[in-house]
Amino acid sequence: MADAIDRANQLAEEARDAALARTLEASNAAPAEDPFCEDCGGLIPVVRRERLPSATRCVGCQSVHERKSAHYVQR
């Protein structure tokens, strides 16, 4: 059972890495320096990076960042 889960995790990782590599190769827009969120260090999903190549945060951190920014602007 554990072996099957390990194998599934490995396949998922390989698929993700391949998708990320294809995205980086296909993208002529300047991508963010790295695919990791600048706040939490998590990998930014490929779909998000395709839609927003300049994204430097994952969706969760970006929404927190925007809420904080709005808070500071409004006081």
Residue 29 is classified by DSSP as S
Three-class DSSP category at 43: strand
> Whole-number minimum distance, CB 62 to Zn ion, in Å?
8
Report how far apart, in Å, the C-alpha atoms of 10 and of each of 34, 59, 64 are.
22, 25, 31
Residue with tokens 């998922």: 12
**Residue 58 found at the interface with Zn ion (CB under 5 A):** yes
- 29 contacts 53 by C-beta, under 8 angstroms: yes
Residues that contact Zn ion, how many (by CB under 5 A): 6
**Residue 55 found at the interface with Zn ion (CB under 5 A):** no
What is the footprint of Zn ion within residues 6-45 (CB under 5 A)? 37, 39-40, 42
Among residues 19 and 59, whose Cβ is nearest to Zn ion?
A: 59
Interface residue list for Zn ion (CB under 5 A) = 37, 39-40, 42, 58, 61
